[in-house]
Structure 1
Amino acid sequence: MSFEIIPAVDMRNGKCVQLVQGVPGSELVSLDDPVAVAKDWVSQGARTLHLIDLDGAIEGKRHNAPIIERIVKECKPMGVVIQVGGGIRSFEDAAGLLELGVDRVILSTAAIKNPDLVKQLAGSFGSERVNVALDSRNGKISIEGWKKQSEHTAVEMGSRFEELGAGSLLFTNIDTEGLMKGVNTKPTEELVRSVNIPVIASGGVTGLSDLIAIKRTGASAVVVGSALYTGKFTLAEAINIINEDIN
């Protein structure tokens, strides 16, 4: 499978936003119509959309669920894969999204607190539809909208979730997330080497060279947010640079 550039559509209070370090009130970008934003990314060549309900992640309440439903209904016919995270706290939450037509749910806090949830969902819907987010700060996984720190490392939990049936992992390096200062590829490379399932990377992408660096870690894809929204490069430029890199 070729390396993929996945644009982020992060939602808070009904708007498409980009936060610095996930902190509410730090918006770099705030756009009124997330549905239009999602459709625009697809029209520009996105093959996958990364939808995050930040209200759900931070507060545990999925206020943006109606917007996600609209994006699924309007973008799925365009042939795009949709992955959704933020505030998925139970089997019922995840099942509802998958039955709605979401291709892949992203579990974070719920998976760390109840690892068997991953096994249950994989058994019911298939491993390929279950992704576990490993958000790392200073080498340890953060949960509950990055407000609390666990004692687990990404490598430790990545292997555990692979055994439980997760079909892929989303690794976010919080230490670089939203700072627009470039990527640190070492933690991503360590995780990629420790598991046999795809790893999607996130955090710190600022320029086109960062995309190449992440591709060369062996990650299957990279989620890009602020760099696209602030015009550091276009989605077409990102796709082209990846296609040109044959190493």
Structure 2
Amino acid sequence: MNTAEDAGRGLDRRSLLRGAAGLTAAAGMAAALNLGSASRASAYGWSRTLQQGVTGADVTELQIRVGGWASAGAAQTYVAWDGDFGPGTAAAVKRFQSAYGLSADGVVGPQTQSVLNSLESADGSTAHFEWTEFHSNDGTGFGGGKVGATQVKENVRRLMYKLEALRKKAGNSAITVNSGFRSVAHNASVGGASNSMHVYGVASDIVVSGHSTLQVYRIAETCGFSGLEAYTHSWQHVDSRVQYPSYGSGSWWWESGTV
């Protein structure tokens, strides 16, 4: 388990807060998603109604998109990306539906699928985040990490959906990403832990407009994040380390505990 992620994060602070981005229309758009490539030109092609008890790749995609709705309060739990629509996925779907003014029945039909697709952008990123926000700040993009660039990009995509949930829970407040993915070289240059989750693309350091770091920490406790750095900094570190056991950090790390 990592200790504090780094002491040099302030060097990566962006100067402008992001505003709301336009939503992508879901109707009439269809394309199967290749999770390995994490890129596509149109909205995800849901081919059926999903509900508890079904399995498949489309359930995995659903779990990615509702991952930030893992709990109603502070809880060390997450929505598994296992393709099995179980009780945890159903509960997350209901929270998502309620937040977006849908009937919270846990059934993912056309209306819920349309809202899910409104959160994706045509290039595979999400409505309020861009790939470039998560590029390593040494100009290497998604290269030079501890996994390949394609995998980093997919990891970042999954992170984006959790951050979309955090943004929604924060009253649609703009989020600045100070540091997303880091190449191994850049991570070392800013004093990051040698096995920082940043070098895999599963972590980000964020500031939420109008919210203290403590407030952000408390929201993040509901979003399925298994790594939370102490809220005593001017940024909040979030990561999903427990969902990536092969990266060597399979234990929960909430540095300030449950607050």
The normalised TM-score by structure 2 is 0.30
User: Larger radius of gyration, structure 1 or 2?
Assistant: 2
Which has the larger strand fraction?
1
Superposition TM-score, scaled by structure 1 size: 0.31
Kindly indicate whether structure 1 or structure 2 has the higher relative contact order, using CA contacts under 8 Å at least 6 residues apart.
Answer: 2
Higher helix share: 1
